[in-house]
Amino acid sequence: MAVIRAAALFETGEFDDLLTETPADVRQALRTLRNIASRSGYRSMDDDILWVTLTRDLPPHVASWRRAAFD
């Protein structure tokens, strides 16, 4: 669910000002994960890769988005 919600930030222009520092490859990775999760289901995803994404890769970006929102 976290990946789907994070990817949703990029679907409208509403949050563009907050997301300017997010690299294009991160945006694409989130879209890809969202597509896999929403179309194929979480069972088709590699649990180890998903865990690393959620616990190591995604949190710094979420922190950056939060800082941008409150600056």
DSSP string, 5-64: HHHHTTSSGGGGGGSTTS-HHHHHHHHHHHHIIIII-GGGS-HHHHHHIIIIIHHHHHHH
Query: For residue 64, what are the domain limits?
Result: 2-70
Cβ 18 vs Cβ 68: under 8 Å: yes
* 69 secondary structure, DSSP code: H
Query: Is pTM beyond 0.85 here?
Result: no
Instruction: Give the chain's domain count.
Output: 1
pLDDT digits (tens, 9 = 90+) for 19-65: 888 899 988 888 888 888 878 776 777 888 888 888 999 899 989 98
